[in-house]
Structure 1
Amino acid sequence: MSWIREGELNLLEKIASNVLKAGPMPKHVAFIMDGNRRFARKKNMERQEGHMQGFNKLAETLRWCKQLNIPEVTVYAFSIENFKRTKEEVDGLLDLARQKFERLLEERENLEKHGVCIRVLGDLNMLPLDLQQLIAKAVLTTRTNNKCFLNVCFAYTSRYEITNAVREMAWGVEQGLIKASDVSEALLSECLYSNNSPNPDLLIRTSGEVRLSDFLLWQTSHSCLVFQSVLWPEYSFWNLCEAILQYQLNHKSIQKARELHREEQALQQLEADRACVADLLQHQGNGKPADAKRRQEALQRYSVSREARVQDFLQALKQKRNNFFFDLYDEAVSAQESLN
């Protein structure tokens, strides 16, 4: 089954789509695609077939999102917790991932035509090397596409992601790229796997469960959360419309919460900068208080230097992450050449 489904909406779907697009539309939608195993039991089929049907539904949902002008989608494909399932099921899920990423590489021209960029978020070191290499090829092959974005969370949990972001900041301090005083909520956000994406406007979980299951906990603090009872393989265009309508009904309060949060973050950063400057001036002036003009000038200089440090650190972090994918890609090419 293709990652990209061709085809237009039917007449009734087009009418509903046009009505929805008259209101505020989410630019980034996240899905917890839950219910594949229950669907398999319901249909008396193997679990693996249920997961296959779930992937087919993802491809169809991506088509709907494209028709609705939703440029970014994030999906919870494989949790770190999934490694606790039976070996048979884990192996089946990893085999399915291999098949789908191989298919994706075969479809690179179609992905380029539609401008689809694939990102994979998670700790790929937990995966078999051959799957890591396939993922690296898919990520690097599509990295310059910029019309729509699919973020696949694989070997992922949010708590692990946040812990890893803290480790990245600690690495930056150890390397002398940033100071401990530069660490902030905003910087942690930039160190998450999802740093290249805006936070989701809308998060949808299917199957009737009303938990986030350790998915995008940081990123969805000001998102619209919609829980739907339908099993993921049975998800429909109308289910998606219902969720978008919920987002539209709550759009104003969501935007207000986000604006207040941005203002609070800016105020926190200003207060942190002032505290650092006050400490510096105290040491430079032998304990004598500085006048207001001197404090303001020092604050401006400090803010500029902090921002420069942070940007240099983020550039180094980006390079480190890029090198991880390039190294995997080079290893795969070398292995293929040795076989030939």
Structure 2
Amino acid sequence: MKEKIDLSRVPQHIAVIMDGNGRWAKKRGAARVFGHRNAVKAVQEISEASAELGVKYLTLYAFSTENWNRPQEEVNALMQLLVNTIEKEVPTLQKNNIRLMTIGNMERLPSDCVKTLRKAIADTANNTGMTVVLALSYSGRWEILNAVKAMAADIEAKRLSSDDINDERFNYYLNTYNIPDPELIIRTSGEMRISNFLLWQLAYSELFFTDILWPDFRKEHLYEAVLSYQSRERRFGKISEQLVQP
């Protein structure tokens, strides 16, 4: 399947809603945390496959603002898994020239998570290959509201005029202001919704839904999503005839 991919038309930014860890564990008669632990392999495979294809940005929806409402035991286990995984994977990121970034409300994360994340981000800051973006304590509505509040404060302080607000200026206030919009969004587990993810940025993203539960997601599933993306006509409001080169 990989050989069928046109490497000149690979999406530069792929975003993934990693869903199905709990159901994967339940099928095996195990606690939900077991599913989260086994999801690490999927992250490793998809990161490696994306880098091999030449993807520039890979955003992983790891923990939403709504996930704080889950049982405290699961939240604690997820936070500890995050710390352990990042500490373990930083040498691999360095070896493969991959940069790490985060988006979301870092202030809500436990102090040990923040410390680990900041160190990993600093250690990989000069890497020039693919950028992996972890969306942690993130939601699209939270991001948009924060942007509106920041713009309102700048208008009140006369650092910004309402007449200056446009798409480009609004982007500047988002967590993703220095990250291109995703061309392809993948959601696993068979659910067909966006779940408050990158609401502003996905205006023209291609969506790919698969029944595969995230812990079972592998390189061939990513290739399938990319091939689906390449089979589509992206018109951005134009008609097909306008896309044909004279």
TM-score (norm 1): 0.67
Which sections of structure 2, spanning at least 5 residues, go unmatched? Answer: none
**TM-superposition CA deviations, 1:50-73 (whole Å, max 9, x none):** 101112211111111122221210
CA contact (8 A) 1:21 1:68 kept: no
Match of 2:64 among 68, 72, 79: 79
Point out which structure has higher relative CO (alpha carbons under 8 A, 6+ apart).
2
Any residues of structure 2 matched to 1:147-158 within 5 Å, and which?
147-158=129-140
**What residue is the counterpart of 2:80 in the other structure?**
95
How big is the shift at 1:23?
Answer: 5.8
3-state SS, counterpart of residue 147 of structure 2: helix
3-state SS, counterpart of residue 83 of structure 2: helix
How big is the shift at 1:175?
Answer: 3.6
What is the alpha-carbon distance in structure 1 between the residues aligned to residue 236 and residue 210 of structure 2? 20
CA contact (8 A) 2:86 2:116 kept: yes
**What residue is the counterpart of 1:172 in the other structure?**
154
**What residue is the counterpart of 2:125 in the other structure?**
143
What is the alpha-carbon distance in structure 1 between the residues aligned to residue 180 and residue 123 of structure 2? 22
Greater share of residues in helix: 1
Which sections of structure 1, spanning at least 5 residues, go unmatched? Answer: 1-15, 261-340
**TM-superposition CA deviations, 1:68-114 (whole Å, max 9, x none):** 22121001000010111111111111111121222244x2xx42332
- Does residue 46 of structure 2 align to residue 64 of structure 1? no
Total equivalences in the alignment: 240
Any residues of structure 2 matched to 1:279-294 within 5 Å, and which?
none
**What residue is the counterpart of 2:231 in the other structure?**
249
Match of 2:187 among 194, 205, 213: 205
**What residue is the counterpart of 1:196 in the other structure?**
178
CA contact (8 A) 1:224 1:254 kept: no
- Does residue 34 of structure 2 align to residue 49 of structure 1? yes
CA contact (8 A) 2:7 2:54 kept: no
- Does residue 140 of structure 2 align to residue 125 of structure 1? no
What is the alpha-carbon distance in structure 1 between the residues aligned to residue 56 and residue 63 of structure 2? 22
Letter in 1 for 2:41: N
3-state SS, counterpart of residue 195 of structure 1: coil
What is the alpha-carbon distance in structure 1 between the residues aligned to residue 134 and residue 7 of structure 2? 29
3-state SS, counterpart of residue 9 of structure 2: coil
CA contact (8 A) 2:2 2:220 kept: no
**What residue is the counterpart of 1:25 in the other structure?**
10
Q: Which has the larger radius of gyration?
A: 1
How big is the shift at 1:122?
Answer: 0.3
**Distance 1:238-1:111 versus aligned 2 partners, 3 A rule:** closer
Letter in 2 for 1:178: L
Any residues of structure 2 matched to 1:103-118 within 5 Å, and which?
103-105=88-90, 107=91, 110-118=92-100
**What residue is the counterpart of 1:303 in the other structure?**
none
State the superposition RMSD in angstroms.
Answer: 1.9
What is the alpha-carbon distance in structure 2 between the residues aligned to residue 256 and residue 151 of structure 1? 31
TM-score (norm 2): 0.91
